[in-house]
A and B are shown apart, each in its own frame.
Chain A
Amino acid sequence: MRVKMTLNGKPRSIDIDPSTPLLWVIRDSFGLKGTKFGCGAAQCGACTVHVDNAAVRSCSFPVDGAHGKSVTSIEGLDPANAHPLQQAWIAHNVPQCGYCQPGFIMAAAALLKTTPDPTDAQIDASLSNICRCGTYPRIRAAIHAAARASETEATR
């Protein structure tokens, strides 16, 4: 099947088995390696990307589900690291090994789109990703900081 999508703002198309997970199309067909494989079962969230603005776990999302849609991977969030979440991540020294962080950032970015100033409970409910290094307290602090920064930006 020929699958067409917009990936990070650019039109892309590929002839591929439609059941192939979106993750492997992004990583191996389109060569964007920032989206990570952790479990292959939608458990860990390392593969989180946006499909039409909603966070999806691309390891368990067949590529034909993205047909005709707009997909954003970590590379498309802000390549200059200028997104408030990326800035907050850097300021809070969040990562350890860093492997899960693109997935967390993409999950958090989707949360901030619908909930610009999330409570701890809202963060807990929407970020069920796994960080084996245990960076969770800093991720929480960085999301709150990014929310504040976005608010300041908006009221300026």
Chain B
Amino acid sequence: MTNSSLARRAFLKGFGAVSAGIIFPVAAHGVTLAKPQGRPATRGTEILSWIVIHEDNAVTVVVPQTEIGQGVTTTLRQMVGEELDLDWATMRTAFYDPNVNKTRGNPYVWTATLGSSSAHSLFKPSRIAAAQIRAMLIAAAAARLRVAADELTCANNVVRHEKSGRQLSYAALAPAAAKLTPPAADAVTLKAPDAWTRIGKPLPQVDTPLMTRGALRYGIDLELPGMRFAAIRQSPVFGGKLVGIDAAKLKGLPGAPRVVTVKGGFVGYNSPVPEGEDPAIWTAEVHMDDAVAVVADSWWQAKTALEALAITWDEGPHAKFSSGALARKLSQKVQGELPTVLAVGDIDAAFREAAKTHSAEYTYPYLDPAPLEPLNCTVLVKRDAVQVWAGTQFADDAHELTCKLVNLPPEKVHLHLVPCGGGFGRRLQNDFVHQAVQIGRAMPGVPVKLLWTREECIQRSAYAPLSVMKLAAALDARGMISGWRSKLATAKSAEQSYGSARFQFEFPAILAQYHRDEEAPLQFGWMRGVGQTQYLWMNYAFFDELAGLAGRDRVAFIRAHLDPERIPAALEKRDAAVARAQTLRRVLDAAVAKAAWGAKAPRSGRGIVVSDTSYYAGYESASKVGIVDVTLREDGTVSVDKVAITIDCGVVINPDIVRRQLEGCVSYALTNAFLSEITVENGRVQQSNFHDYPILKMAQVPKIEVNLLPSEDLPTGVGEDAVPITIAALVNAIADAGGPRIRSLPIRAPTLRQASA
């Protein structure tokens, strides 16, 4: 095993560790949290950093994640409410402050909103904390009522003594309960699944009624007394430097505009690194270029004034950078030897002894995750206290970089998370926070809201990396894959070789090689599905090519390669690999049984993909099957008739939220497949807004069917999983229908037909 694959395993061990139970420290009491949206808050008692029991017996649950549309404010209420026996109508949520995480020793265990991990990472810690708090309330009630704890029960925010008919509200017990030493995390008993009344139910998303009347306040909606507004222009060329500004034209413009320069450089990191882990595996550095901001009385005035400004840039070393040239360079790279990340068996022998061989080259463009709410951040810098309001997916990092910029200790800096208009990975990079704090620092005492234009968002994003993968395979005489070789070369990126090298088939011989071009100047960023989206679709499309080459039925070909008998006896963690293959076969059988497999109409096609996003066998991941049906039309378009996703994602906390996530993945996948692409010429992104960086619209959305399979395993991610399998099943369906074999995104032909056309 190579060093890289060992490092990958360390990554997984780290992630597994964060979802284990821990001891939660006792927190200070009497904290009044930021007012939750929509309902008034009274003072209350905070217990174990996770909840506040208010004087009116309402309960606020602290959400140690960012809400980006994944529904965590709803699912966390279900998990905590379950163990604490809370009345749903009394529950509220408030986002955590990283300041608390920092100063109290990380009570929330895992806070970055990435990797579809909200349910997975919160499932144990939040329920354990709730069970600890429940035990503390019961202990306080036992002391107050002078009865044994085991005679007490909890229901609807009340501890009740059945024998005597006496009861005490959580509010009455909270001050005493908070002073008790919590039971050890491993000493509390969690409710058995058959006793759940909240987990597993399709409870409505809690913020929906605010959204439908325009009352949910996102970061962009924040308003403070005396607030001023900032518009920003970053170097139009990646790596450019600010030379000079001619501000003469600002004179006399309305809104009292003033210029603030923002210095480029190192920002922070785009993922946390657990203690003792290798940062190179977990995260990537975030950098930004110089920028010029104009601050005025309204944002429109600021933006108008910024456009009037004459700015001179030194275009720097990347002024001639071309993404087309980089694609050609990467394509050259994959023809030769690259660093090996995974080597299994004798790959040369597999090809030497092959009955048939095949190779193909796949490419994936630069992409911008493009959440719909443009990036924004509000800052109020005072001499001894700083407040930041940001829709960031990595609030701990935003807090830390702010502390450094204003040179204050963590307890003096408060980061208020706000609901986000989408995330999709873009908000893991805190460049926009760094800029806002620099601007706020130049205007002490004045609240400032920085808001990017859509053009800045598209042209200065953190991009999924342009990538080229050359795949080659050997087929043996029985039509089985005996050797699999992948050579992947990408633009600047975090370590994402898992997307190409780590998938579920245990071929007898595997050689995976991986190279990252560090010269490519675009900022790397995580994007929905990350390495899996970029590379798994290539694997599954090439796998489908091989089924065709072997002349075999697709489903049979997949099933044969998931035969546990084929898994080498000597494989490390063979049991986990066998279990993985069996699970995938079970999901495959369920999906196939659900889909009608009749005679095929002319020019229609079906693609099928079976996948998980495990980094290795035994790593918890949702198992799913995607089936896409298409029809090729005479006019050169393709109708996507139906996308069906069948998934086993462990315990489902809220089935309707899981369905929505998967429906969303399908739209995201079709956008990636047919519509969007970031290209760069002369160091500049050529796209600027949704007219040339299009997103799927209503008319293009196919029929989507989601089948959830029952499971009692730990919840696994659903927010990203269906993206790569939809893309792969789609290109396989187009080939099946007699269309071209698609190996490069976005698909140029056939174009996507309007659903109702």
How far apart sit A99 and B541, CA to CA, in the bound complex (Å)?
A: 34
Is B556 positioned at the interface, with any CB of A under 8 Å from its CB? Answer: no
Would you call B699 and A125 a contact (CB within 8 A)? yes
**Interface flags, B643-660, vs A, CB<8A=1, else 0:** 000000000000010001
Would you call B371 and A36 a contact (CB within 8 A)? no
In chain B, what residue has the closest Cβ to A29?
B298
How far apart sit A90 and B213, CA to CA, in the bound complex (Å)?
A: 11
Would you call A128 and B422 a contact (CB within 8 A)? no
In chain A, what residue has the closest Cβ to B69?
A97
Return chain B residues, CB-CB under 8 Å to A119.
756
Would you call A39 and B667 a contact (CB within 8 A)? no
Is B665 positioned at the interface, with any CB of A under 8 Å from its CB? Answer: yes
Return chain A residues, CB-CB under 8 Å to B205.
93, 95
Would you call B299 and A133 a contact (CB within 8 A)? no
Is B453 positioned at the interface, with any CB of A under 8 Å from its CB? Answer: yes
B208 contacts which of A32, A44, A90, A124 (Cβ < 8 Å)? Answer: A90
How far apart sit A123 and B254, CA to CA, in the bound complex (Å)?
A: 42
Would you call A138 and B663 a contact (CB within 8 A)? yes
**Interface flags, A138-156, vs B, CB<8A=1, else 0:** 1110000000000000000
Is B68 positioned at the interface, with any CB of A under 8 Å from its CB? Answer: yes
Is B56 positioned at the interface, with any CB of A under 8 Å from its CB? Answer: no
Return chain A residues, CB-CB under 8 Å to B454.
38-41, 43
Is A1 positioned at the interface, with any CB of B under 8 Å from its CB? Answer: no
Is B216 positioned at the interface, with any CB of A under 8 Å from its CB? Answer: yes
In chain B, what residue has the closest Cβ to A43?
B690
Return chain B residues, CB-CB under 8 Å to A131.
372, 667
User: Which chain B residues (653-691) contact chain A, with CB distance < 8 Å?
Assistant: 656, 660-661, 663-668, 689-691
Is B548 positioned at the interface, with any CB of A under 8 Å from its CB? Answer: no
Is B314 positioned at the interface, with any CB of A under 8 Å from its CB? Answer: no
Is A116 positioned at the interface, with any CB of B under 8 Å from its CB? Answer: no
Is B71 positioned at the interface, with any CB of A under 8 Å from its CB? Answer: yes
How far apart sit A128 and B754, CA to CA, in the bound complex (Å)?
A: 12
How far apart sit A78 and B213, CA to CA, in the bound complex (Å)?
A: 7
Is B33 positioned at the interface, with any CB of A under 8 Å from its CB? Answer: no
Q: Which of B162-170, B217-225, B575-583, B626-634 contacts A (4 or more CB under 8 A)?
A: B217-225
Is A17 positioned at the interface, with any CB of B under 8 Å from its CB? Answer: yes
Is A120 positioned at the interface, with any CB of B under 8 Å from its CB? Answer: yes
Tell me whether chain A's interface is mostly helix, strand or loop, or mixed: loop
User: Which chain A residues (17-33) contact chain B, with CB distance < 8 Å?
Assistant: 17, 20-21, 24, 27-29, 31-33
Return chain B residues, CB-CB under 8 Å to A137.
663, 701, 703-704
User: Which chain A residues (82-110) contact chain B, with CB distance < 8 Å?
Assistant: 85-86, 89-90, 93-102, 105
Is B240 positioned at the interface, with any CB of A under 8 Å from its CB? Answer: no
How far apart sit A40 and B419, CA to CA, in the bound complex (Å)?
A: 21
Q: Which residues of A contact B (CB under 8 A)?
A: 17, 20-21, 24, 27-29, 31-41, 43-44, 46, 73-75, 77-79, 81, 85-86, 89-90, 93-102, 105, 119-121, 123-125, 127-140
A130 contacts which of B202, B214, B229, B695 (Cβ < 8 Å)? Answer: B695
Asked, given contacts A132-B372, A136-B698, whether A44 binds B214 with beta carbons under 8 Å apart, the answer is: no
Is B300 positioned at the interface, with any CB of A under 8 Å from its CB? Answer: yes
Task: Please give me the 10 A-B residue pairs with the lowest Cβ-Cβ distance, nearest first.
Answer: A34-B214, A134-B667, A99-B421, A97-B69, A74-B214, A98-B211, A124-B699, A96-B69, A134-B664, A33-B221
**Interface flags, B215-254, vs A, CB<8A=1, else 0:** 1111011010000010000000000000000000000001
How far apart sit A30 and B484, CA to CA, in the bound complex (Å)?
A: 62
How far apart sit A140 and B229, CA to CA, in the bound complex (Å)?
A: 37
Is B370 positioned at the interface, with any CB of A under 8 Å from its CB? Answer: yes
Is B697 positioned at the interface, with any CB of A under 8 Å from its CB? Answer: yes
Return chain A residues, CB-CB under 8 Å to B660.
93, 96, 133, 135, 138
Interface core residue of A31, A86, A90, A124 (most chain B CB under 10 Å): A124
Q: List 16 additional A-B contacts (Cβ < 8 Å) besides A20-B300, A43-B454.
A: A24-B298, A28-B300, A35-B214, A37-B220, A39-B689, A46-B372, A74-B213, A77-B213, A79-B213, A85-B212, A93-B208, A97-B423, A101-B212, A119-B756, A134-B665, A138-B660
How far apart sit A135 and B666, CA to CA, in the bound complex (Å)?
A: 10
Would you call B372 and A100 a contact (CB within 8 A)? yes
**Interface flags, B250-286, vs A, CB<8A=1, else 0:** 0000100000000000000000000000000000000
Asked, given contacts A33-B221, A38-B374, A97-B421, whether A133 binds B69 with beta carbons under 8 Å apart, the answer is: yes
**Interface flags, B60-75, vs A, CB<8A=1, else 0:** 0000000111110000
Would you call A101 and B691 a contact (CB within 8 A)? no
Would you call B697 and A130 a contact (CB within 8 A)? yes
A41 contacts which of B221, B424, B451, B689 (Cβ < 8 Å)? Answer: B689
For the complex formed, measure the closest distance between the CB of B466 and the CB atoms of chain A, giving whole angstroms.
Answer: 21
Count of A-B residue pairs with CB < 8 Å: 187
Asked, given contacts A33-B217, A43-B691, A98-B216, whether A38 binds B298 with beta carbons under 8 Å apart, the answer is: no
Interface size class of B (residues with CB under 8 A): 35 or more
Would you call B211 and A95 a contact (CB within 8 A)? yes
B756 contacts which of A38, A81, A124 (Cβ < 8 Å)? Answer: A124
User: Which chain B residues (692-708) contact chain A, with CB distance < 8 Å?
Assistant: 695-699, 701, 703-704
A101 contacts which of B211, B254, B661 (Cβ < 8 Å)? Answer: B211
For the complex formed, measure the closest distance between the CB of B253 and the CB atoms of chain A, giving whole angstroms.
Answer: 10
B656 contacts which of A40, A86, A93, A136 (Cβ < 8 Å)? Answer: A93
Interface core residue of B374, B421, B701, B756 (most chain A CB under 10 Å): B421
Return chain A residues, CB-CB under 8 Å to B212.
81, 85-86, 89-90, 95, 101-102, 105
Return chain A residues, CB-CB under 8 Å to B214.
32-35, 73-75, 102
Return chain A residues, CB-CB under 8 Å to B421.
36, 97-100
How far apart sit A27 and B300, CA to CA, in the bound complex (Å)?
A: 11
Would you call B298 and A136 a contact (CB within 8 A)? no
Return chain B residues, CB-CB under 8 Å to A99.
218, 372-373, 421-422
Is B571 positioned at the interface, with any CB of A under 8 Å from its CB? Answer: no
Is B476 positioned at the interface, with any CB of A under 8 Å from its CB? Answer: no
How far apart sit A97 and B73, CA to CA, in the bound complex (Å)?
A: 11
Is B636 positioned at the interface, with any CB of A under 8 Å from its CB? Answer: no
How far apart sit A74 and B221, CA to CA, in the bound complex (Å)?
A: 14
Return chain B residues, CB-CB under 8 Å to A93.
202, 204-205, 208, 656, 660
For the complex formed, measure the closest distance between the CB of B654 and the CB atoms of chain A, giving whole angstroms.
Answer: 10
Asked, given contacts A44-B690, A75-B214, A94-B208, whether A38 binds B372 with beta carbons under 8 Å apart, the answer is: yes
For the complex formed, measure the closest distance between the CB of B254 and the CB atoms of chain A, giving whole angstroms.
Answer: 7
Asked, given contacts A40-B453, A132-B371, A134-B667, whether A81 binds B213 with beta carbons under 8 Å apart, the answer is: yes
Would you call B218 and A89 a contact (CB within 8 A)? no
How far apart sit A18 and B656, CA to CA, in the bound complex (Å)?
A: 46
